[in-house]
Amino acid sequence: MSARATTRPGGRSARVQQSVHQAVRDLEAEVGRGALTVPLIAARAGVTPSTVYRRWGDLRELLSDVAVERLRPDAPPADHGGLRADLEAWTVQFAEEMSSAPGRTYIRDALLGDPGQGSAVRCSDYAAEQLKAIGVRAAGRGEAVPDLETLLDVVVAPLMYRILFRPSELSQAYVGRLVAAALGRAGSPSGT
């Protein structure tokens, strides 16, 4: 996704985005993904095709934008009273969502229609924001917290790598080992 898709909430731009996204979701359910075209989506959304092309570039970029919206977490991470429990619960849920059939499709769409990698960065930022919230809460309880880049390397990266490159069951024991490895790294240096 490019900067074209930046919106001001409540403005015309936000209304166009909402109706176009809704049209994609509805038509995907009704006619299937293979039958989606920009003119069809524009007609359903009540905008001109050129509005869609101007804003999203092409169908693939539009699908990428819609996919990222679907990957956006709809709530802050649940509070289970401690860092390990919070991290484990979040990681189990993240692994389940991302490795589900719809999750895999959204990740592929996000990566595919996205030559500038903006959609992929937004996906990663969603996970980063959730992990940051867990970390801030834990620090407030006086717990030692691994830094964000370490959590991304040790918890998120292995899950996404296995989902994309080594399809396998992501067992709860495996998730537990990732979290344990991350907790063992509280205070490690990070940065790429």
Least gap, CB of 11 to a second copy (angstroms):
29
**Is residue 185 involved in binding a second copy (CB under 8 A)?**
yes
Residue 37 sits at φ, ψ, to 5 deg, of -135, 160
Least gap, CB of 98 to a second copy (angstroms):
12
Stretch that binds a second copy, among 5-13, 32-40, 43-51, 171-179 (CB under 8 A): 171-179
Contacts of 102 (CB under 8 A, 6+ apart): 70
Least gap, CB of 74 to a second copy (angstroms):
20
d(CA 134, CA 153): 16
Stretch that binds a second copy, among 16-24, 86-94, 107-115, 133-141 (CB under 8 A): 107-115
**Is residue 181 involved in binding a second copy (CB under 8 A)?**
yes
Number of residues that bind a second copy (CB under 8 A): 36
**Is residue 85 involved in binding a second copy (CB under 8 A)?**
no
Long-range (24+ apart) CB contacts under 8 A made by 183-190 are 183/83, 183/84, 183/87, 183/146, 185/146, 185/150, 185/154, 186/144, 186/145, 186/146, 187/144, 187/146, 188/146, 188/147, 188/150, 190/147, 190/148, 190/149, 190/150, 190/153
Stretch that binds a second copy, among 27-35, 61-69, 114-122, 134-142 (CB under 8 A): 114-122
Least gap, CB of 168 to a second copy (angstroms):
4
Contacts of 70 (CB under 8 A, 6+ apart): 102, 106
Structure tokens at 103: 């999750």
**Is residue 72 involved in binding a second copy (CB under 8 A)?**
no
d(CA 138, CA 79): 10
Give, as ranges, the residues between 24 and 53 that touch a second copy (CB under 8 A). Answer: none
**Is residue 171 involved in binding a second copy (CB under 8 A)?**
yes
Rounded to a whole number, what is the largest CA-CA distance in the chain? 55
Binding site for a second copy (CB under 8 A): 108, 111-112, 117, 120-121, 123-124, 152-154, 156-158, 160-162, 164-171, 173-174, 177-178, 181, 185, 188-192
